[in-house]
């Protein structure tokens, strides 16, 4: 495990706040996810529970509960001595999980074509239209959050509770990896082009084509992530 920089400094510079909206535990988990996504807390970094709670101005109980949530999502792991650190999954692990996620989203697309109302499909199309409008101006995190809304909306349109829950589990484990893919500004045009093909298939209720487009979209994410990891490795030399 690597020792990270001052947690108080990270929190202050990141403008991350924990303000009760859902529950303190969930808000804390949201704040931690953002720090992990932006690599303010890089993979492998040790995160002492007490110090992090103090830096965020909360007690250790909601911090402990939030970290358990992130552990279940695969974003945090624990050493043999139960010291938490930011997970750093291998590219092969990410690839295998993305293959599963691609299959889940392909099935969701098929079911959405059959189950979703026209109004729901229009809302999904509206999300992609919003991304198109903000493509040049949106920062990486904002673009990513809307991107995830787009994918969740398709899965929820399947009206299949077990599928929705399974997708939620796998998508949480791949949150940081999908952000790595999404944050590549040069890839936004390709992402939106793929999204449009997905939308066209959904609106025409072409279940087979929707599945093909969604599975291909996730395969592109695997390629983007692998390229980013290779670039980071080369820069570190």
Whole-number pLDDT of residue 213? 97
Q: Please say whether the beta carbons of 40 and 85 come within 8 A.
A: no
Strand 76-78 versus strand 84-86 pairing type:
antiparallel
The C-alpha atoms of residue 34 and residue 202 are separated, in whole angstroms, by 31
Contact 111, 160 (CB under 8 A): yes
Say whether 78 sits in a helix, a strand or coil. strand
Question: How far is Cα 237 from Cα 78, in angstroms, rounded to an integer?
Answer: 28
CATH 2.70.150.10 fits 91-236, yes or no: no
Measure the CA–CA gap between 24 and 27, rounded to whole angstroms.
5
Q: Does domain 2-86 have CATH number 1.10.10.10?
A: yes
The pLDDT tens digits of the residues spanning 13-29 come to: 665 555 545 689 999 99
Residue 6: its H or E element:
none
The predicted structure's pLDDT at residue 153 = 97
Note the pLDDT of residue 230.
64
Please tell me the predicted confidence (pLDDT) of residue 188: 84
Q: Cα separation of 154 and 168, whole Å?
A: 12
Q: pTM for the complete prediction? A: 0.80
Given a cut of 70, the residues of the chain with pLDDT beneath it are: 1-22, 184-186, 229-237
Which candidate, 97, 96, 72, 77, places its Cα nearest to that of 87? Answer: 77
User: Cβ(35)–Cβ(10) under 8 Å?
Assistant: yes
Look-up of token digits 């077990």: 162
Letter string b/e over residues 4-16, b meaning 16 or more CB atoms within 10 A of that residue's CB: beebeebbeeeeb
The domain ranges of the chain are 2-86, 91-236
Using CA atoms of 94, 189, 159, 109 in order, give the dihedral in degrees to the nearest 10: -80
φ/ψ of 197, rounded to 5, equals -65, -35
Angle between helices 175-182 and 91-115 (to 10 degrees): 90
Report DSSP state, residue 74: T
- Distance, in Å, from the CA atom of 71 to the CA atom of 78, rounded to the nearest integer, reads 8
């Amino acid at each position: 495990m690597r020792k990270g920089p001052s947690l108080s400094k990270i929190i202050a510079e990141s403008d991350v706040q924990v303000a009760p909206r859902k529950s303190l535990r969930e808000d804390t988990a949201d704040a931690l996810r953002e720090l992990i996504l932006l690599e303010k807390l890089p993979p492998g970094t040790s995160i002492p529970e007490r110090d992090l709670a103090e830096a965020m101005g909360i007690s250790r109980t909601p911090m402990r509960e939030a970290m358990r949530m992130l552990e279940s999502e695969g974003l945090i792991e624990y050493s043999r001595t139960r010291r938490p650190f930011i997970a750093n999954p291998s590219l092969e692990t990410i690839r295998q999980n993305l293959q599963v996620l691609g299959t889940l989203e392909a099935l969701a697309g098929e079911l959405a074509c059959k189950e979703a109302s026209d109004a729901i499909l229009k809302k999904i199309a509206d999300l992609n239209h919003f991304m198109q409008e903000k493509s040049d101006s949106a920062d990486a995190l904002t673009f990513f959050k809307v991107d995830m809304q787009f994918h969740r909306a398709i899965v929820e349109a399947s009206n299949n509770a077990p599928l929705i829950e399974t997708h939620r589990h796998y998508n949480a484990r791949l949150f940081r990896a999908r952000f790595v893919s999404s944050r590549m500004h040069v890839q936004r045009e390709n992402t939106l082009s793929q999204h449009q093909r997905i939308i066209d298939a959904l609106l025409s209720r072409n279940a087979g084509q929707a599945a093909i487009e969604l599975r291909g979209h996730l395969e592109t994410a695997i390629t983007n992530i692998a390229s980013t990891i290779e670039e980071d490795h080369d820069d570190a030399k």
